[in-house]
Amino acid sequence: MRKRIVMIVLGFLLFGIGGANAEESGEQKDSLLDMVKKPLRTIFAPIHGEGLVDLVAAPAEVMLSPIIDLGEIVITPGRTHEYIFNINKNISVIDAEDIKQTNPRRVQQMISQKAGVVMSGYFGNAKDNGLDMRGFGETGLLNYLVLIDGRRSNQIDMSGADLSQIDLNSIERIEIMRGANSVLYGDNATGGVINIITKRGGTGDHIEYVQELGSYQYNKEYFSAGGGHDFLDYFFSYAYQDSEGYRLNNAYEANDIFTSFTVKPGDILDIHFSSNYHRDWYGQPGALYPENIRNDGREGSRFPNSKGKTEDYYFTVDPRVFRELGDHEGVLSSFVSYRSRRTNALSVGFGEYETNHHIVSLDFRPKCEINSTFFEDTLENKLVFGTDYFYAKDQVLSGDRTFRKSQLDIIKETFGIYASNNMLVNKRFIINGGIRGEWAEFIFDQFQPAASYDTQSPEEVAFDAGLGYKYNERSQIYANFARSYRYPATDEFFQSAYEYLNWWTGAVTVFPSVLNADLKHQVGNNYEIGIKDNSFGFLNVNASYYLIDNKNEIYYDPITFQNENYHHTVHHGFEFETKADIFEKIDAFFTYTFQKAFFVGGKYAGKHIPMVPQNKISAGIDIKPIDGLDAKFILNHVGARRITSDQVNEVARLKPHVTFDFNVSYETENYRLFGGIKNIFNEEYFSSAAKDWLGNAAFYPAPERTFEFGVGCKF
């Protein structure tokens, strides 16, 4: 029944009134493709013939044009290029120039300066992926989706997205879309979507080399080559970095090779290829208790031999066809990606516990976009529809080295179908709506030490709607509603069987596998109102208020030692960003986030969700006294928050902190010198903290003052 409802609503969104004139049938036996073609024949065949029907009904991925000015054009909110003031969403953009001026060591440091994004971490290096959008706290990394050039990057388990897999120097821009977008992206897109867009060749041929040095024996080398011609656009980069890290056993070493090229055989076709190989080795220093800090200092480690490594490779192909037919523009493509990821982690504490994953995943996302104008351009309509197929197989080998390893295969397979429509009426009113149906299948097939076979098959419908008004060309007020969902991660659903030593009997015993069959998937209703104002050319303001009403939010319960559902939670907050060109050579920015997330009803009624600070501020000033010279001062403040696993709010809060950073660079046509100081005043703070099973708090120290220097050349 749910699938039929989704198909009916999708048909209405796709074909509107024209579909009512399609041939009626007493039996619903048509294939999905036939269901798409019938109303299309009714709409387009009398005008353009059957050829257009077959073109539009074919599987496709959408882009607006092969070459486009990305100044105020964004991709993420609608899975297609769109003017930022023509969408009813809250979005921020970080471009390559912002990255260059700030000179962060990892992408998380850039993203966390934006409103509504909070960073926490456990490693103190690029392997940290503890970002949180809109107050999900300790499960934040499972409630935002990371895309790399539109490719889904989140893992199927609780590890989230590995933000270290693309080097910062290979990033052209980062789009941060706050709020739910399950209609277009499905699972995980509950708190927001982060889309990392890599560099292309551009115009002409060029090469670049960058060398960086810094505190804690930090060293990085980067090389790239690229170019653009009528037939071919290409880009290649190689990066190597290593550092001993702030703490004992905090080293990080990585290699990245990225390749991108686009073949353009004609005006109506281009084919984009990209691939990336990433390999890293890192230490896992673990948390420190207060007595450890007193005895060994903040730089110590309780686990000096715990370590991990990663090998990650992906390849994508994205063919696109462009057609213009009267007042209609159609773009079709069929995005395909393959990814192979191997990880190894060794935890050395009371024993030696090793975990190996080999995850192979496949993405197939045909999509179509139809851009139309009606009534002498008073109505501009953009329709996006398509399907998403995702398959991942995780081969797991884990356990204490003393005993037989647990061996199992985990499969996650999803199929989604969606449509989203965005209308601009009289150049003023923006109306959008969309719907998605998604069906998932989880398989847990364990071979040893005890055989078991379990499955789960959740399904869900998401929808959204919005209304906006442009009171001038570059200013807008808007309101939107979205229903979102998140499926449980594989290790939230399933605990594999394992061997252990029974201290009472002295015998090796098998603990049986456990399927958490009662665990439900999370759903939420998201409400948002906002304003984007650029009435004065020198001042840009972006503000929004949101309310999220969640049912069955998933969390780890430290009392029952298993993943469970909160009955009811509420998240609400205010996000504010502004950027001002104060004088010709001085710019400033300011962001403020207020957020509260709490439990409604149940055993934690009225308590705050852990790891959600109520206040967060980022501010900075950028001074360019002479051509080529740039100096930037940045302040970051994160307020107090309850620590991980403290749902009862009984342990002292993680203290607030304030840091100041300074970056300076001088650039000529071919050369660049740059340097910086992070945490100028040597603030001692903790990036995260957690409550253990005995109720004691353990802390993860953040780096103190760090220095960096680099030189680059480009020809």
Domain ranges of the chain: 1-57, 58-714
pLDDT at 105: 87
Superfamily of domain 58-714: TonB-dependent receptor, beta-barrel domain (2.40.170.20)
- Supply the DSSP string of 332-357, one letter for each residue: EEEEEEEEEEEEEEEEESSSEEEEEE
Distance, CA of 682 to CA of 54 (rounded, Å): 64
Distance, CA of 201 to CA of 67 (rounded, Å): 12
Nearest to 680 by CA among 633, 622, 628: 633
Q: For tokens 């609503």, name the residue.
A: 9
pLDDT at 303: 94
pLDDT in tens, 648-659: 999 999 999 999
Distance, CA of 560 to CA of 306 (rounded, Å): 27
b or e along 660-687 (b: 16 or more beta carbons within 10 Å of the residue's beta carbon)?
ebebbbebeeeebebbbbbbeeeeebbb
Please state whether 76 falls in left (phi above 0), alpha (psi between -120 and 50) or beta: alpha
pLDDT in tens, 30-56: 433 343 334 334 333 433 334 333 333
- Torsion angle defined by CA atoms of residues 471, 474, 476 and 481, in that order, rounded to the nearest 10 degrees: 150
Regions of the chain where pLDDT drops below 50: 1-70
Q: What is the DSSP letter of 81?
A: -
pTM, two decimal places: 0.88
Residues 6+ apart with CB under 8 A from 124: 245, 246, 247, 250, 285, 687, 700, 701, 702, 703
pLDDT at 52: 35
Strand order in the sheet with 144-148: 90-95, 171-178, 192-198, 144-148, 151-152
Q: For tokens 């996650």, name the residue.
A: 412
Q: Enumerate the β-bridge partners of residue 661.
A: 634
Cite the beta strand spans of 639-696 per DSSP E: 657-667, 671-678, 686-691
CB 433 within 8 A of CB 462: no
**40: phi then psi, degrees, rounded to nearest 5:** -65, -40
Q: How far is CA 557 from the centre of its chain?
A: 25
pLDDT at 59: 33
pLDDT at 267: 85
Cα angle vertex 351, ends 516, 446, to 5°? 35
Distance, CA of 225 to CA of 273 (rounded, Å): 16
- Supply the DSSP string of 630-649, one letter for each residue: EEEEEEEEE--BPPBT-TT-
pLDDT at 30: 43
Q: How far is CA 531 from the centre of its chain?
A: 24
pLDDT at 71: 57
**End-to-end CA distance of the chain, in Å?**
61
To the nearest 5 percent, what fractions of the chain are helix, strand and coil?
A: 10, 55, 30
